[in-house]
Amino acid sequence: MPLPDAKPSTRIYELLKNTDLENITFSEFQGVAKTIFAEQGAEDELRRIVLLNLARLSVVGEWTGLTSAGSSNEFDLQLPGTDTNSGNNNMYIVSRMPGWGVTSSSTTSLGSNEDPHFWPWISPKTGNLTILIDVVSDGTGVLGLAVYSDVGGVPYAKIGGDYSYTFGSTGTGLKTLTPTADVAVERGKQYWLGVVETTNGNGAIRGEYALNSHVAGPAFPSLSNLQNAAFYGVALENSNNTLPAGPITATDFLTNNDGQPRWAAQFG
Amino acid sequence: MPLPNATTKEGRVYALLKGQTLESLTGQLAAGEFLPEVGNPISIEELNEDELRRLVLVKLAVESVRADWVGLTS
């Protein structure tokens, strides 16, 4: 008996013919389903995607996660996420916080680059994001920053507007950057900070030491040993001086061996 | 073919989503991004029941292809 009022399947069941429910992998299912359009003409296939996914998961095991709050592990680390000191302590130094921040207070100078560089971060709060950077060499050029969504552990698409700092305009020290349009983020969710030199110059901001940084991207397998682990994020070489709107093709990403900016966040 | 007993009129949800694949929507799920805004505003009333069903259907379909629901079974 088909789904109520549905026409015969032209894609889902055809492509998965002879596949057992208990043997289908997520990637097989995803490959068949992801190109379906979210349109009325495909509504029957959308219903079948949901039905098949629930059926697939029904044979995986008990749905314990459905009725438990958060992790089943007794260890439940929480990021700092509540302003203290009567609300005066409301700046979150993300590049020093778990899970992608560093544990060392030492910093270095991060010169800008015409190729967009990206580093992952996890938002400690929900709200509209203001970014704070620390200018250490107020030379020339313009620095651009933007926040990207994460899909599969790489940047995907820009969220909201861009942030910008024009070097040589206000001297060294802490700079509060507001975006051209609201950048809405959610507590506990992973994002990527994109940084690029939108106008070439010699200005620099404070950065985290690369040697203190987590590996945040895959390495190429031709390494002769594992001493070199300089894969601290991802970068693009096909988007000079521009932070692309995305979606970004994941296979375009290359190695980013710079430490992330020493940066902080406030939430409106 | 519409959802069972739903009107065939293409309402807000599918009109706004035209041209979007499930994969393209996986990167637009956060608050304020495209997919949540498709449902903003839809007033909660019987008249909009078909649109509510469509919104839930699309959301579940997108989440189905975004990633494996490992948290459900762990």
Chain B residues with CB-CB distance to A66 below 8 A:
72
pLDDT digits (tens, 9 = 90+) for A220-258: 888 788 888 889 999 999 999 999 998 999 999 999 999
The answer, for B30 touching chain A at a CB cutoff of 8 Å, is: yes
Task: Tokens for A20, please give them.
Answer: 């057992």
CA distance linking residue A185 with residue A36, whole number of Å: 28
Residue A100 scores a pLDDT above 70: yes
Interval A132-159 mean pLDDT:
96
Q: Which long-range contacts (CB under 8 A, 24 or more apart) does B49-52 make?
A: B50/B2, B50/B3, B50/B6, B50/B7, B50/B11, B51/B11, B51/B12, B51/B13
Q: Kindly report the three-state secondary structure assignment for every residue of chain B.
A: CCCCCCCCCCCHHHHHHCCCEHHHHCCCCCCCCHHHHHCCCCCCCHHHHHHHHHHHHHHHHHHHHHCCCHHHHC
Q: What are phi and psi of A109, to 5 degrees?
A: -105, 130
Q: What pLDDT is attached to residue A131? A: 98
pLDDT per residue over A3-60, tens digit each?
A: 677 788 878 888 888 888 888 888 889 999 999 999 988 999 999 999 989 988 888 8
Nearest CA in chain A to B32: A184
The predicted pLDDT at position B32 comes to 79
Q: Is residue B19 within 8 angstroms of chain A, CB to CB? A: yes
Q: Which residues of A touch B22 (CB under 8 A)?
A: 33-38, 49
Does A38 sit within 8 Å of B74, measured CB to CB?
no
Where residue B1 falls among pLDDT bands split at 50, 70, 90? very low
A7 touches chain B (CB under 8 A): yes
Question: What confidence score (pLDDT) does residue A112 get?
Answer: 76
Of the given ranges (A101-105, A174-178, A258-262, B30-34), which has the lowest mean pLDDT?
B30-34
Decide if B60 and A149 are in contact by the 8 Å CB cutoff.
no
Kindly report the average pLDDT of chain A as a whole number: 91
Average pLDDT on B18-35 reads 87
- Which residue type occupies A8? P
pLDDT grade, residue A70 (50/70/90)?
A: low
**Least CB–CB distance from A65: residue in B19, B31, B74:** B74
B62 touches chain A (CB under 8 A): yes
ipTM given for this complex: 0.85
The shortest C-alpha distance from A51 to chain B (Å) reads 9
Are the beta carbons of A47 and B17 separated by less than 8 Å?
A: no
| A126 touching chain B per CB within 8 A | yes
Structure tokens at A233: 């994020």
Write phi, then psi, for A87 (nearest 5 degrees). 90, -5
Under a CB-based contact definition with an 8 Å cutoff, are residues A163 and A146 in contact?
A: yes
pLDDT of residue A58: 82
Which H helix or E strand runs over A31? helix A26-33
Q: What is the mean pLDDT of residues A159-171?
A: 96
